[in-house]
Structure 1
């Protein structure tokens, strides 16, 4: 990958989009992970005002420290970067007192995890509306178009997606070029939605390099029976997530009324 050209292309794309949209800059949620670190740095490089928002909800200490390290670095490197911290833990806890928590522990935990992401989306759009800015998404190609590993109307609720055409490995390559803190580069990817340090691989059952391989095999029209052993398992995992999360990756279905009914 021609990393410098990719970075310049994304930065130029962001500049043009913001100019055409007549907005004042960008808002980015910073989690302490590679995707948000790369996205926020790319936004910062446009020269447009960029607000980085840390939004902990019972967050693992390692996530908090990485997010703060990255934000401090960005503020030193770019005059157009500002930051704020919105502790959503009290909001989340109050929400839990007003809804039913009946159901299996698994379904309740997943519903609450997605709620965390949606509270963060609401916060990002609050500040975007307040400041007249765009919410920049942090999803990569594997998450957004492969396994659908994001929350619908949570981290999937954005105005534009600067890195959604980059595989996870390519995001890391860009991150190194952009001098993202090493603590983020070496950290295991995690969505941070459960208040602990569980990784994406723990949840999915396959690593991002494995998922990238499976995605490329699927694009070639391969099926599970073309493989055996670990490769077959990984391909099956990929297809399971891809199928189950397809509703996130396609436009919202619209019930079209026959013309002769109108």
Structure 2
């Protein structure tokens, strides 16, 4: 879609703005640097690449034996080493299983999403434990498409100090990553939150990131009506409905918890 993909000049501006913002947050918080969960996927690779240029980054690779692809662990290690990022691998399987055992009457088949969301929440705790120990901030890896659609775990991967790529649609994440020379095997792999074996973002969302981005860009950036969106993008009503339903259903994830005002 015209306007969604960025020019080279705009990519350079994004690159510089993101790095400047990371430095600013680290300095304002009087921190020693940043903690970053490196998954082996494109979003964390992009954040790691930019952040490592301007602040001291420590990487946490946190696989779960039931769902993490071994290739992702290898890709995360290779990326960290290529960027000169110190890192450690923390297997979260035993922590996750301990939480599961606290509710033995339930099972992953009956409560699939609740079980899956334990993993990003455990990773959030490990991120902040390491950050507090070392006096660092936590870098998030969520992109604009995920944030708009609510495709993140509340108080999981949504629990961070700054979202460096939170204003980049997934389409632009791919663009900027290739612009920066991030390895193609990371850029081109099917996006996955690693919630369960074989899980992919697009299968769970029920539409491709490309389609979602066209709709979101037309809706929010260009202010088009439904009929205009259909005409300009060629997407169908079903896809638009899926996007709008996700936006409405995830509003609570994008705002602070409501405070009950008391007139006393």
Q: Which residue in 2 is equivalent to 1:25?
A: 33
CA deviations on 1:49-90 (whole Å, 9 max, x unpaired) are 2111111112556x4323433433332333xx2000100011
Tell me, in whole angstroms, the C-alpha distance in 1 between the residues paired with 2:179 and 2:151. Answer: 25
> Structure 1 residues 37 and 151 mapped into 2: Cα distance closer, same or farther (>3 Å)?
same
Tell me, in whole angstroms, the C-alpha distance in 2 between the residues paired with 1:59 and 1:172.
28
1:143 maps onto 2:146 in alignment: yes
Per the alignment, do residues 77 and 29 of structure 1 end up closer, same or farther by CA in structure 2, a change over 3 Å counting?
A: closer
Deviation at 1:212, TM superposition (A): 0.9
- 1:127 is displaced (CA, Å) by 0.4
Aligned-partner Cα distance in 2 for 1:71–1:155: 20
1:114 corresponding residue in structure 2: 117
Contact 1:27/1:124, CA 8 A, preserved across alignment: yes
Note the C-alpha offset of 1:197: 2.4
In terms of mean alpha carbon deviation, does 172-181 or 183-192 score higher? 172-181
| Partner of residue 53, structure 1 | 60
CA deviation string 1:217-245 (max 9, x = no partner): 33325248974995211101101111111
Number of positions where the alignment pairs a residue of Structure 1 with one of Structure 2: 252
Partner of 1:15: 23
Q: Of 232, 238, 248, which aligns to 1:243?
A: 248
CA distance in 2, matches of 1:70, 1:90: 21
Once the two structures are superposed, residues 15-62 of structure 1 have per-residue CA deviations (whole angstroms, 9 ceiling, x without a partner) of 12211211000101111111111111111011x22111111112556x
Residues 142, 163 of structure 2: 8 Å contact kept: yes
Distance 1:232-1:224 versus aligned 2 partners, 3 A rule:
farther
The question of whether the paired residues in 2 share the 8 Å contact of 1:59 and 1:192 is answered with no
Q: Distance in 2 between matches of 1:42 and 1:140?
A: 14
Distance 1:91 1:224, change over 3 A: farther
Distance change in 2, residues 1:186/1:225 (3 Å): closer
The DSSP-based 3-state class of the residue aligned with 1:28 is strand
Aligned Cα RMSD in Å? 2.1
Task: Measure, in 2, the Cα distance between the counterparts of 1:123 and 1:5.
Answer: 33
In the other structure, the counterpart of 1:208 is: 209
Residue among 132, 137, 152 paired with 1:134:
137
- How far residue 136 of structure 1 moved from its aligned partner, in angstroms, is 0.3
1:199 & 1:131 partners in 2: Cα distance?
33
Q: Report the counterpart of residue 172 of structure 1 in structure 2.
A: 174
Structure 2 residue matching 1:105: 3-state secondary structure = coil
What TM-score do the two structures reach when normalised by structure 2? 0.88
Aligned match for 1:82, one of 80, 86, 89: 86
Whether the 8 Å contact between 1:32 and 1:64 is mirrored in structure 2 is no
TM-score, normalization: structure 1? 0.89
**Does the aligned pair in 2 maintain the 1:39–1:138 contact within 8 Å?**
yes
Q: Distance in 1 between matches of 2:103 and 2:181?
A: 43
Asked whether the 8 Å contact 2:140–2:163 carries over to 1, the reply is yes
